[in-house]
């Protein structure tokens, strides 16, 4: 593990990688399961996968405030991982065709949906809590992580190091999940292919419990029911002020309250931060504070949605492309289409160490900044690369349609690799941005904001697919650009549409960054 990460942090990064192995072992090839086993159409399967991914990524917005204010993060991790395991076991049972499970199409689909959304619920509380819990372990040896530390507006080096290695760890797990499990599912069977992720999740829970003696646990100051009642009254007053035209005064109050919230961390002479936090809880303003912290971040959150839409393509339409391409290696082995998703994680694993050793020293020459580029610039570079990836995907798909013989599946590698490189910039930047731009006691909420980008992005993807399907379908082609016959489907047109929309988001992001002032 990288120098600078302490032992509990390293343990939790490994556990995070094991969870990603389990999740990707299910998610990466799910579209194939839905089309080949459940017999869904291409567009229906893509929408189902996107909807499930969206709900999985959105649920942390509901669980994160509870984990921050009511629940102990350690207990949350144990409880949610147990629920996660139940969902994986239930999913395995639906694929094994066991005699005590009904085999009718309706009940089978209901069982499949029930097990998938159990996984979603477990993951929703597990992932943000685990990442915030791991970051807390690192902050025990990193005083620069406190908001009051003067660091010229830049994130402390150890915080950046943690997020880079956290992403490196989950990418290693994702690589094993997408490559190994897709092969097992396509060749050995779906029952075994779903059972292995369930076993991996059980092992990760045991591993987490075995690390108890290393962890540092922080006390959570719970809110009471009286404070929630006061919150409702406060919200009513603010809304009333807004409708009476007192928006300016309301904004001033918001700024003043945020200043009061942050000042105790840096001003011990005014009283201990513990006393101020407990007083704030009694006044019932915590959830109102969440809204005040989140609202300034919404523009960045919104402009990242198209990146999240592109993020959905490898597990849906990229995989369907690969199914009709030449996949043979020798006379016996066929590359599973979903296994090509591992090219994203391989590029991340190989290139992320070079980010610090080559890219940062090189870019310092131009920026004259110790960090090389700031978090906003890092996200922007990744967004730009994702646009280029979609342009290449459109050109590759167009070439496939014009050829008389099947195109080799390795022609898809450039678009996968570019998405992997864009992830190094944007995804790591997103994690650090949303974690750093919220107060310390809302860190789980910050991680949930990051995951919710991909959740809403999944639903935006569903909306785009439905809209394109509506406007391009005809009597000859029921699903238009997404026809089940890949010889007449026009995924290239869809990729061009994504390229244009993503380019608009990127330009908007660049303009916005000129006016945005970081709170970290």
Using H for helix, E for strand and C for coil, what is the string for 212-235? HHHCCCCCCCCCCHHHHHHHHHHH
Tell me what pLDDT residue 23 has. 92
Average pLDDT, integer, range 23-36: 87
**In the prediction, which pLDDT does 81 show?**
92
Res 145: pLDDT: 38
Position 253 pLDDT exceeds 60:
no
Q: How buried is residue 347: exposed, middle or buried, by Cβ count under 10 Å (0-12/13-18/19+)?
A: buried
Cα distance between the two ends of the chain = 27
385 confidence band (pLDDT: 50, 70, 90): very high
Q: Return d(Cα 231, Cα 124) in angstroms, integer.
A: 25
Cα 10 to Cα 215: distance, rounded to the nearest angstrom:
11
User: Is the confidence at residue 412, as pLDDT, over 80?
Assistant: yes
Spatial distance between the Cα atoms of 153 and 147, rounded to a whole number of angstroms? 10
What's the pLDDT tens digit per position in 428-448?
889 888 888 887 777 777 777
Token pair 């990836």 is at which residue?
389
Name the residue among 65, 38, 60 with its Cα closest to residue 49: 38
Pairwise pLDDT comparison (162 vs 433), residue with the higher score: 433
Token pair in block for residue 299: 């523009």
Q: Kindly state the helix (H) or strand (E) to which residue 158 belongs, with its residue range.
A: helix 157-187
Residue 113 has pLDDT above 80, yes or no: yes
Asked if residue 200 has pLDDT above 90, the reply is yes
- Measure the CA–CA gap between 289 and 297, rounded to whole angstroms: 13
The confidence band for 514, taking pLDDT boundaries of 50, 70 and 90, is: confident
Nearest to 76 by CA among 131, 116, 20, 13: 131
Nearest CA to 303 out of 516, 492, 125 is that of: 516
Compute CA 90 distance to the chain's CA centroid, rounded to the nearest angstrom.
Answer: 24
DSSP per-residue string spanning 458-473: HHHHHHHHHHHHHHH-
Residues 461/50, Cβ–Cβ less than 8 Å? yes
Tokens representing residue 92 in the block: 């395995």
- Is the C-alpha dihedral spanning 107, 112, 115, 118 positive or negative? negative
Question: How sure is the predictor about 219, in pLDDT bands with cuts at 50, 70 and 90?
Answer: low
What is the model's pLDDT at position 359? 87
- Which has the minimum average pLDDT: 44-48, 70-74, 458-462? 70-74
Is residue 21's pLDDT more than 90?
Answer: yes
SS3 category, 156: coil
Residue 286 pLDDT level (bands cut at 50, 70, 90) = low
């Amino acid at each position: 593990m990288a120098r600078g990460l302490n032992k509990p942090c390293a343990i939790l990064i490994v556990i995070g990688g094991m969870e990603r192995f389990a999740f990707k072992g299910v998610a990466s090839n799910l579209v194939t399961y839905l089309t080949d086993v459940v017999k869904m159409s291409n567009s229906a399967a893509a929408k189902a996968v996107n909807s499930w991914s969206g709900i999985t990524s959105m649920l942390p917005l509901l669980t994160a405030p509870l984990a921050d204010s009511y629940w102990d993060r350690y207990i949350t991790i144990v409880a949610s991982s147990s629920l996660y395991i139940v969902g994986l076991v239930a999913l395995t049972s639906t694929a094994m065709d066991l005699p005590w499970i009904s085999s009718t199409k309706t009940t089978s689909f209901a069982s499949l949906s029930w097990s998938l959304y159990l996984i979603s619920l477990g993951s929703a509380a597990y992932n943000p809590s685990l990442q915030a819990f791991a970051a807390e372990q690192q902050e025990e040896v990193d005083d620069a992580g406190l908001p009051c530390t003067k660091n010229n507006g830049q994130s402390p080096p150890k915080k950046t190091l943690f997020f880079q290695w956290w992403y490196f760890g989950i990418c290693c797990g994702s690589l094993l999940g997408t490559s190994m499990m897709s092969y097992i599912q396509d060749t050995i069977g779906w029952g075994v292919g779903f059972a292995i992720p369930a076993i991996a999740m059980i092992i990760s829970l045991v591993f987490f419990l075995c690390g108890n003696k290393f962890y540092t646990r922080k006390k959570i100051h719970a809110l009471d029911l009286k404070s929630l009642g006061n919150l409702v009254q406060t919200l009513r007053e603010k809304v009333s002020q807004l409708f009476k035209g007192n928006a300016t005064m309301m904004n001033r109050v918001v700024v003043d309250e945020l200043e009061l919230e942050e000042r105790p961390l840096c001003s011990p002479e005014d009283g201990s931060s513990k006393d101020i936090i407990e007083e704030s809880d009694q006044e019932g303003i915590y959830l109102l504070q969440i809204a005040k912290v989140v609202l300034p971040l919404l523009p960045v959150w919104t402009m990242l949605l198209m990146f999240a839409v592109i993020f959905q393509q490898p597990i849906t339409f990229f995989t369907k492309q690969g199914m009709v391409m030449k996949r043979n290696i020798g006379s016996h082995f066929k590359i599973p289409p979903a296994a090509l998703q591992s090219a994203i994680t391989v590029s991340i694993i190989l290139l992320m160490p070079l980010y610090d050793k080559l890219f940062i020293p090189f870019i310092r020459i131009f920026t004259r900044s110790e960090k090389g580029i700031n978090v906003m610039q890092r996200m922007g570079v990744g967004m730009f690369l994702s646009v280029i990836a979609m342009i290449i995907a459109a050109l590759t798909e167009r070439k496939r349609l014009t050829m008389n013989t099947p195109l080799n599946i390795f022609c898809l590698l450039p678009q996968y690799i570019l998405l992997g490189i864009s992830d190094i910039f944007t995804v790591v930047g997103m994690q650090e941005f949303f974690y750093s731009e919220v107060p310390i006691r809302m860190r789980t909420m910050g991680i949930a904001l990051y995951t919710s980008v991909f959740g809403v992005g999944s639903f935006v993807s569903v909306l785009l697919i439905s809209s394109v399907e509506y406007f391009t379908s005809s009597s000859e082609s029921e699903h238009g650009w997404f026809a089940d016959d890949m010889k007449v489907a026009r995924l290239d047109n869809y990729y061009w549409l994504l390229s244009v929309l993503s380019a608009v988001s990127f330009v908007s992001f660049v303009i916005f960054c000129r006016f945005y002032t970081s709170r970290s």
